A and B are shown apart, each in its own frame.
Chain A
């Protein structure tokens, strides 16, 4: 008797043990991110996938900030920015010479302190909050909008590994700032501007057009595509769309605040 051929029912893929080491994943995310994310999808959850890049980003950022703020030209630019801000405040509020001197002294003192505090805190936020915030976006896009089936923490791992691009961005940006002696230098269209003015809206918009940001977004989009099983184009449209929306929102908010301040200032 011929035994009937029975086709086994498709079983959900069991998590495989990872074939890439953590080090390989961290490096391969630059060259073959698709393979890395495919493996993340198929591997059991690993905290190291987001924690290690976060720590690397934190350490590299701190070192970069120390390097940047140790440059005389940068320190000078910072003090000029502070001075200009204080001067504007003095002119707006019509302070007396004595009050203006006090304001200058206070401004110089607090600008230094707040710059140090900001420099210490910002990398922490960038390293540890971004994986969870962007992880949420990736999970919402991949699991809800594109009907994928993966847990939230997988999205966090993908975003965490993609943050290695952010580490490279920090290094490139630091080298640009130190090399060009310009605090506002970045791998963006701002390099085309001779005299960057942070008050200029067009100049501010040029900073948004950053090649490293686009690379990072593309890698995240690839992560969404791999996790959800959707096409890269679809995932990229979502990821770039979300980024454009919130960037637009913050740029608009900034413009509104600027208009409001200029009205208050007369």
Chain B
């Protein structure tokens, strides 16, 4: 009885030990490679349109802000917001009593000045006669020197007084004109035909004239027949915008509709140019771009608009998914990179960080909040030239490693790092001008794998894309 049990024990323990030894041998001898799960896509030919996206507001092309030039209470306001007006129509009447009184006062002063002038003329005539009489007597030595000097001085004074009186008349005349002008400015008429797009003041309200600092903005008259989109575009993208480029506009108020537009004006100075000099601005520098809307619609000033400006177009371009393109140090520089890592960090911390993390600078689509573009920006793609002296950069390039644009091509179950040259891009794809052939399979995800993990020769496993099932559902729904 004991023997079979003992034999059984030996067999079982021997089996356990053998299994454990076998597994341990596997652990020791098997080469363990890190396998990265990736999603892939084939290199295909597509038509690409490079777009610059920007947000802004709709405004009339012609818009006039009406402000009072004189201060006072509004006693007539015969227009309402949204009302159409013709050129010359009465818009506002400001209480004129004060200005009538001022005119009267100026008139009285003018008349007084005229009277003073007449008096001065009479005084001069008398002084002149006296002077001539004394001059004859003085030549005959009948009056003393001092008496003659006195008469001559009186004559000169009378002449000066007449000059002063003439000038006083001019001053008084100007005062009359000014008072008259102010009085006329109490009545404001429409300078153009249009629509009252904004009415800020009400009847009975007191308004300040532009004479005193900034006058009250009473209303805005706009020509709503011609509208434009005023959008803000970041400094990286604005250089690719040119007058005449076509744009597609989406106005939030008109859902599921797209309007056509043409770029008409690009600001020369950034919107926050003043703030930048003080160093207080942390937002991206934006430039205002005006896009004339071709369609007539019931747009209202201030409506939110999203514009897509077509800056470039390619047909039948070789393309890869947007996420596939990343940056890495070139293959032959790997050793150099490892050796110079510290130096790179010291010379250019941003670049060193990028190299360390393998940051996919190209995959970061948006730099600002309102403006969005897919094209590579010089600031992100070429860190060496960014904000540094070119000569210095060239000198340093011998010491540090310049990142290059690459994609990872899947060959068997390994990823091969392939340098590429990129062209334009749209929302989803990059144009590849050099480095790839049609039909090659490139890694398109995940973000983490492309930006951080993949390296040349890394073993990969093709897994389903995250959210692929959802995408399938969506595409089925669309069908």
> Which residues in A have some Cβ–Cβ distance to B below 8 Å?
27-28, 30-32, 35, 71-73, 76, 79-80, 83-84, 87-88, 91, 97, 104, 168, 171-172, 175-176, 178-181, 195, 265-266
Contacts and interface: CB of A to CB of B under 8 A. Distances in A.
Contacts of A88: 466-467
A87 B467 contact: yes
Contacts of B9: 28, 31-32
Contact of A175 (B24, B448, B467, B470): B24
Q: List 9 tightest A-B contacts by C-beta distance, closest first.
A: A175-B23, A179-B26, A31-B9, A87-B466, A31-B12, A179-B27, A91-B467, A181-B32, A76-B34
Nearest to A176: B23
A178 B27 contact: yes
A178 B27 CA distance: 6
B275 to A, nearest CB: 23
B294 interface: no
A71 B299 CA distance: 63
A87 B448 CA distance: 10
20 contacts: A27-B13, A28-B9, A30-B12, A31-B9, A31-B12, A72-B34, A73-B34, A80-B37, A83-B446, A84-B446, A87-B446, A87-B466, A97-B366, A104-B448, A168-B16, A172-B20, A175-B26, A179-B26, A179-B27, A181-B33
B36 A179 contact: no
B461 interface: yes
B35 A181 contact: yes
Interface string B1-41: 00001001100110010011001101100101111110000
Contact of A30 (B5, B13, B27): B13
A175 B27 contact: yes
A26 to B, nearest CB: 13
A84 B12 contact: no
B24 A80 contact: no
Contacts, number: 74
B8 A32 contact: yes
A181 B364 CA distance: 33
Interface residues of B, number: 31
Contacts of B467: 87-88, 91
Interface in B436-479: 446-448, 453, 461, 463, 466-467, 470
A97 B369 CA distance: 11
B427 to A, nearest CB: 14
A84 B448 CA distance: 10
Contacts of A195: 461, 463
Interface of B: 5, 8-9, 12-13, 16, 19-20, 23-24, 26-27, 30, 32-37, 364-366, 446-448, 453, 461, 463, 466-467, 470
B19 A172 contact: yes
Nearest to B448: A83
Contacts of B366: 97
B461 A179 contact: no
Nearest to A30: B12
Contact of A73 (B20, B32, B447): B32
Contacts of A265: 470
B19 A31 contact: no
Contacts of A27: 13
A169 B446 CA distance: 34
A266 B27 CA distance: 43
Contact of B36 (A32, A80, A172): A80
Nearest to A27: B13
A32 B36 CA distance: 45
Contact of A97 (B35, B365, B466): B365
Nearest to A108: B448
B428 to A, nearest CB: 15
A153 B22 CA distance: 38
Contacts of B30: 179-181
A80 B364 CA distance: 21
A171 B20 contact: yes
A238 B118 CA distance: 135
A72 B31 CA distance: 12
Contacts of A171: 20
Contacts of A31: 5, 8-9, 12-13
B461 A73 contact: no
B35 A73 contact: yes
A180 B19 CA distance: 15
Given A31-B8, A72-B32, A181-B30, 15 more contacts: A28-B9, A30-B16, A32-B9, A35-B5, A71-B32, A73-B32, A79-B448, A87-B447, A91-B467, A97-B366, A104-B448, A175-B24, A179-B23, A181-B35, A195-B463
